Amino acid sequence: MNELWDRIIEDYKIGRECLVYSKKKDCWIRQEDKGMYHLWTAYYSALNAEEKNHLFYARVLSLMGWEMQAKSSNYELLNKYYKPAVEQYTLAVEENPNCVYPKEIENVRKSYEYYKYIVEKSKIRTDSGYYNAIKLLEGHECLNEFSFHDSKFISLECNDQSAVLKLQDGDIYHFEFSNIYDIEMNCDLLTAYVNDFAIYQAVPDLETIVFDIEFLKIICKHIKVRS
């Protein structure tokens, strides 16, 4: 175990040095290719190791989660990286309560709780879940006869601050977005039908709302709907 984990720890440290800014260095330049090579090497070696160094496996998983944020789904970030990272930190502390600063574990736990929240909120499975989602929309009472599922995309007009989305399910419904932070589109909107949707607060207790209908995601502060 020692020789294998010596190599894993060395790969992790090289990867971190290349990828994470350090105040200790006067001139630091991110070396992504080199850093990710060593991090992936550490990750797969640690994943397949029969015996685990819980602390450094947790650190590898945590850094992988950070680096894969733009490349993995929220579900993958939660279940491949942050959930097992929290589990490994727990085992490490059980072995040696003084092996790690509490702040290190706290930061990873915050990421775990964040992605757990996002994954849970992004799937609506019950009537109460549906109501909790649409009540974030001003004027949601007009949606009594509307179903997101299989509604047809009509148009999207947007600028830096606002957008109007029109969906048709019998009548045409106007979704008006204001104070926009981000818009993501991942298909030809003209051919799009809504198969699934989610509406939720980006972070608990904050005003920012995520409106996600698979092919279109809008993050903003306010949404009004009218027919």
Domain boundaries, the chain: 2-121, 128-226
Report angle CA 10, 12, 16 to the nearest 5 degrees: 120
Chain segment 119-152, per-residue pLDDT in tens:
888 777 777 888 888 899 999 999 988 888 878 8
Structural tokens at position 126: 């019950």
Cβ(140)–Cβ(183) below 8 Å: no
Q: What is the CA radius of gyration of the chain?
A: 22
pLDDT, residue 205, reads: 66
Mean pLDDT of 4-16: 95
Least confident of 26-40, 53-67, 99-113, 140-154: 140-154
Chain segment 137-196, per-residue pLDDT in tens:
999 999 988 888 878 888 889 888 899 999 999 899 999 999 999 988 876 666 667 777
Quote the CA–CA distance of 135 and 199 in Å, as a whole number.
9
Largest CA distance in the chain: 67
Structural tokens at position 169: 């399910």
3-state secondary structure of 99: coil
Chain segment 46-91, per-residue pLDDT in tens:
999 999 999 999 999 999 999 999 888 888 999 999 999 999 999 9
Give how far Cα 119 sits from Cα of 73, 79, 123, 182, 210, Å: 9, 10, 7, 19, 12
3-state secondary structure of 113: helix
pLDDT, residue 178, reads: 94
3-state secondary structure of 162: strand
Structural tokens at position 18: 């290349």
| Its pTM surpasses 0.85 | no
